[in-house]
Amino acid sequence: MVKSFIKLATLLIAFYAAVTYHNSVAFWLADNWGWADGIAQMIKPLVKLPGAFNNPEILKLPVDLLEKISSQVILPSPWTDIIAQLSQMGPNKTVGQALNLILAQGILKILAFVAIYIIVKTIAGVIAWMLEILLRFSPLGLMDKVGGLLLGFTSGMVIIVVSITILIPLQVPLALLGAGGFLGHLAQGIDHSYLIGVVGPIIKNQNLLPPLLTEFSSQFLFKHIPNGPGTEV
C-alpha cells in the first residue's frame, strides 16, 4: 500500500503543478522567447476556421475597428462572444491574426501543461524510487501489499483525468489545423472516444477544463468546431 500511495502522490503532485503553473510558464515563454508568435507563424498556413467564422471581410478588419463597430451594431455570433478576447491580442492586429495568435497561445499552454507534468512526475518519481528502496528494508514494506489494489485503481483514475484534460482542448487545434496522418487519426479517436464522451462532461462540470484553457473551452472556439473547418485566417 505504501508503494502504491507514493505512486498516487507522485501523479497528484505532477498534476497539481501542471494545473497551477502552466499558464505562468506559457506566458513567460511567449513574452521572453516569442514562442506564441513562433507557433502562430508555423500554423498560419494550416489554420481553417470553422463555418461560424466564415466572413473574410471581418477577418481582415483591425481588432480596434471591430470593437468600434460592435459598439454601434449588433454583430452575429460568434463575434459578440469573442471581441474581448481578440482585443487582448493587440488592437493593431487584424481579427484573423488575433484568432491565429489565440490558437497559438492555447497550443503553447497545452505544451506547457504537458512539459510541467512530465518534468515534475519524473523528479517526483526519482524521489519516490529512493523512498521505495528505503521502505523495502523497513517493516513498512510488508504493508505495501495491503490496499495496493484500491490505490492502484485511484492512480489509474488520475491518469485518465490528466489525459482527458489534455485531449479535450486538443480537439480544437486538431480540427482547425485540418490535421492528417497520425494527428488526423488522433483527432478521430478523440472525437469518437467512448471514455471521453462519458468522463469528459464530468471534468467540465467540475470546472477543471475552462480554467485550464479558456480559449478552447465550450464558451469560446470549442462550441463552433462542429460547424467544420472553412475560412483561412
Asked if the model's pLDDT at residue 223 lies above 60, the reply is no
**Top-ranked range on mean pLDDT: pick from 87-101, 160-174, 214-228:** 87-101
Mean pLDDT of 39-66: 82
Mean pLDDT of 65-78: 81
Instruction: Tell the burial category of 153 from Cβ atoms under 10 Å away from its Cβ (0-12, 13-18, 19+).
Output: exposed
Beta-carbon contacts of residue 33 (< 8 Å; ≥ 6 apart) = none
Of residues 147 and 112, more confidently modeled: 112
The letter for the amino acid at 5 is F
Predicted local confidence at residue 138, as pLDDT: 60
Of residues 11 and 162, more confidently modeled: 11
What is the percent of the chain with per-residue pLDDT over 90, rounded to a whole number?
A: 17
To 5 degrees, how large is the angle CA 120–CA 121–CA 126? 100
> Which residue bears the cell 480544437?
172
Are the beta carbons of 229 and 49 closer than 8 angstroms?
A: yes
Instruction: Identify the H or E element spanning 198.
Output: helix 194-205
Predicted local confidence at residue 132, as pLDDT: 73
Asked if the model's pLDDT at residue 43 lies above 90, the reply is no
Predicted local confidence at residue 221, as pLDDT: 55
Predicted local confidence at residue 95, as pLDDT: 87
Whole-model pTM: value is: 0.76
Closest of 128, 159, 156 to residue 18, by C-alpha: 159
Q: What is the pLDDT of residues 172-186, one digit of tens each?
A: 777 676 656 666 677
State the DSSP string of 144-195.
Answer: GGSSHHHHHHHHHHHHHHHHHHHHHHHHHHHHHTT--HHHHHHHHHHHT-HH
Task: Indicate the average pLDDT of the chain.
Answer: 76
